[in-house]
Amino acid sequence: MNAHAPATAAAASILYLDDVTVSFDGFRALNKLSFYLVPGELRAVIGPNGAGKTTMMDVITGKTRPDSGEVFFAGNVDLTHLDEAAIANLGIGRKFQKPTVFETQTVDDNLRLALRDKRGVLASLFSRTSAAQAERLDELLLTIGLADQRTTLAGLLSHGQKQWLEIGMLLAQEPQLLLVDEPAAGMTDAETEATARLLRAIAKDRSVVIVEHDMEFVRALEAKVTVLHEGSVLAEGSMEHVQNHPRVIEVYLGR
């Protein structure tokens, strides 16, 4: 990457990371990582354990501050000075590896909490669900296939259903950029297939970054692939390109 012309590259991107380094007690979780996503792109990020995939998500969503480097959203919004809530409200949604839904509340309430709305304390206290929001809820329930479970407590859903509910919550936030951490982990084949379909549909009108271990799933996404290794980008391109890359083979198969 040309270090002297980041401004133009950043301006055209939805997400722009340049030269980002994060160290934990001397361990470099991210090492001069540069990553670039254009609006509307679906990108799969793969890499062995400890490659820095989750740390990259943490940096983008404000959970971890980078030691050095630049992180820009939508061209010119500097993410390194914002907290999680501010970044979420800018339009960046994040799905965790382990499905994280509010187990003691209903599917409806989970989605209602995620729905784009004012997030202040007093606004919440007097908040009512508008007709437009109710309609949006119905729509979301259909998208994630949980319309029949709307009054079920989220804790009673199956693993796959929880994943979909969480994806539905991300959609309810109406983010421009979605970060999805291992959506297919622990799913049955049928669920994996349904999840890939759901994510491809979602990626039609927003940018999506998916971290995944499951190669079959990544192939099913039909997306550009970035391979991380020891905190930086090892290879980038189509699945075929990446799979035939000698360094990738070396890292994945061991020396």
Partner 1 sequence: MRRQGSLFFQTLGDTGGTILVALLLAAAVLVPILNGLPASSPFHVSNYLVSLFGKYLCFALLALSVDLIWGFAGILSLGHGAFFALGGYAMGMHLMREIGTRGVYGNPVLPDFMVFLNWKELPWYWYGFDSFPFAALMAVLMPGALAFVFGWFAFRSRVTGVYLSIITQALTFALMLAFFRNNFGFGGNNGLTDFKDILGYSLQAPTTRVTLFAASALALALGYVLCRFLVSSRLGSVLIAVRDAESRTRFLGYRVEHYKLFAFVVSAMLAGIAGALYVPQVGIINPREFAPANSIEIVIWVAVGGRGTLWGAALGAVLVNYGKTYFTGALPEMWLYVLGALFIGVTLFLPKGVGGSAREWIGKLMARATKAKLALAPQPGVTE
Residue 149 binds partner 1, judged by CB under 8 A: no
Residue 169 binds partner 1, judged by CB under 8 A: yes
Nearer to partner 1, 118 or 247 (CB): 118
Cβ neighbours around 165 below 10 Å, total:
27
Q: Which of 11, 12, 85, 142 is close enough to bind partner 1 by CB under 8 A?
A: 85
Residue 207 binds partner 1, judged by CB under 8 A: no
Residue 3 binds partner 1, judged by CB under 8 A: no
Site for partner 1, residues 104 to 143, rule: CB under 8 A: 104-106, 108-109, 112-114, 119-121, 124-129, 134
What's the CA gap between 190 and 236, in Å, rounded?
Answer: 29
DSSP, collapsed to helix, strand or coil, labels residue 49 as coil
What's the CA gap between 106 and 9, in Å, rounded?
Answer: 43
Residue 159 binds partner 1, judged by CB under 8 A: no
**Interacting span for partner 1 (CB under 8 A) from 22-30, 46-54, 66-74, 94-102:** 94-102
**78 Cβ partners below 8 Å, 6+ apart?**
70, 71, 72
What's the CA gap between 210 and 119, in Å, rounded?
Answer: 27
Residue 94 binds partner 1, judged by CB under 8 A: yes
Q: How far is the CB of 218 from partner 1 (least distance, A)?
A: 24
Q: What is the DSSP string of 148-187?
A: GGTTSBGGGS-HHHHHHHHHHHHHHT--SEEEEE-TTTT-
Q: Supply the DSSP symbol for 106.
A: B
Please report, as ranges, the residues that interact with partner 1 according to CB under 8 A: 61, 63, 83-85, 88-89, 93-94, 96, 100-106, 108-109, 112-114, 119-121, 124-129, 134, 151, 153, 169, 173
